[in-house]
Amino acid sequence: MADKMEKKGTILMQKYELGRLLGQGTFAKVYLGRNLKTGQGVAVKIIDKEKVMKVGLIQQIKREISVMRLVKHPNVVQLYEVMASKTKIYFAMEYVKGGELFNKVAKGRLKEEVARKYFQQLIAAVDFCHSRGVYHRDLKPENLLLDESGNLKVSDFGLSALFESKRQDGLLHTTCGTPAYVAPEVISKRGYDGEKADIWSCGVILFVLLAGFLPFHDTNLMEMYRKISKGEFKCPQWFPPEVKKLLSRILDPNPCARMTLAKLMENFWFRKGFKQIEVPKPNLDEGEATPRSILEIQSIIDLEPESGSKKEEGATSSSSTMRPTCLNAFDIISLSPGFDLSGLFEKDTNHKAEARFTTKNSASTIVSKLEEVALMESFNVKKKDGTVKLQGSKEGRKGQLAINAEIFEVTPSFHVVEVKKTAGDTMEYRKFCNQDLKPSLKDIVWTWQGCDQLLQQQQ
């Protein structure tokens, strides 16, 4: 039976009246709504809390809330309010009537002036996001909406990253985005600058607006990735010379040589008719203070499990403390040795101190087995965010051996575990991998990749 909170005419939290259904996905439905106090039309996104908790998407929801409250710009879909009940999470957002920019492009290429206007608004929005430490990571025409006046609005920040998400190397490491629009360094899984990756996606969008088709397209996915990695594309003859030159600088496969947003916004072709948008400052008196981190979202909305599912104080069961990372299409492709793209970007890939195995066992079983190995070999164990960290207690040639075993979920009954040395001597790691780890896990492992190669290198 449909949730009573999702029926047309329902009054939500005594603030919004729900109207017709605008769209729905696996975990959420979006309704047209009306603010009862102001009469303003809004889009109300209703998320099933239990479903997102079950599949471990809570951090993604937190991130989306944090980012949307942080980024307030005329060319970004605005988040007005976040509310919650015991079973639902509610986003009251700006209602953008004009639909997706993708629908316009699907009818054919746009005129240069129109494409430039949309591109200018896109860049203005992305530049503002970057100034707030936010990287979208999934820019494409489907995520660009148009209002009734034909102005562009960037939406769908579910895959975005905050500046604080960077590792110590200053780079992002989560592979995400849409294949045809993603930057080559993202595919390589070697770490990437979120700003430069977004700029690449903007370049692909500009090409699509002016051409009506993708610059890197091939029915063979790996051939398309090869073209992306080499920056192989050809501009149609109707592209103005200055646009061809601009795209060659934006779609440079070397992120270090790629055009920056600052340089792009100084470009002569880009600046034609460009109007600098005044961004309103947050009205702190009206509660528009913007949280700077994902952690602060906990004070906005309670996303923890209901009381009936809370674990007991002091509980340390593997299943309750571990949430495997879900693999996306990029990860699955790159895990296969035949589809490993790292050779396109890195030299000497044969000597990486890592191995991986697949298993049909649950995450809790994997963790239990790793804990058994750790106990036998006097390793200390820490578990965090889908990773089991094994820290050796004995001094080796280069200090204590440290190993990370990251668990990835392909399906609930199929996992991939990536084992990497994070500290210590590589030879000692290889010996441990082949003589201790591999034999101890033989009961749960389906296939290994890497251990045999490591043994051969050692010999």
The single residue of 3, 127, 138, 436 carrying the catalytic annotation is 138
pLDDT at 6: 61
pLDDT per residue as tens digits for the range 46-69: 888 887 777 667 667 777 777 777
- Closest among 365, 356, 317, 314 to 335, alpha carbons compared: 356
pLDDT at 122: 96
- Give the total residue count for the chain: 459
Tell me the whole-structure pTM to 2 decimals: 0.62
- Domain ranges in the chain are 4-95, 101-271, 318-458
Q: What is the C-alpha separation between 108 and 404, in angstroms, rounded?
A: 49
CATH of domain 318-458: 3.30.310.80
Task: Give every residue of the chain whose pLDDT is below 70, as ranges.
Answer: 1-8, 55-56, 58-59, 157-177, 189-190, 192, 278-353, 385, 450-459
Task: Identify the CATH class of 4-95.
Answer: alpha beta
| Six-digit token string for 447 | 């296939």
pLDDT at 266: 95
pLDDT at 237: 94
**Hey, CA dihedral for 59, 63, 65, 66, is it positive or negative?**
positive
Q: Residue 45 annotated as binding?
A: yes
pLDDT at 356: 81
pLDDT at 346: 44
- Closest among 275, 370, 277 to 318, alpha carbons compared: 370
Distance of CA 307 to the CA centre of its chain: 30
Q: Is 138 a catalytic residue?
A: yes
- Closest among 154, 160, 143 to 74, alpha carbons compared: 154
Asked if residues 43 and 30 have their Cβ atoms less than 8 Å apart, the reply is: yes
pLDDT at 24: 78
pLDDT at 455: 43
Q: Which fold has domain 101-271?
A: Transferase(Phosphotransferase); domain 1 (1.10.510)
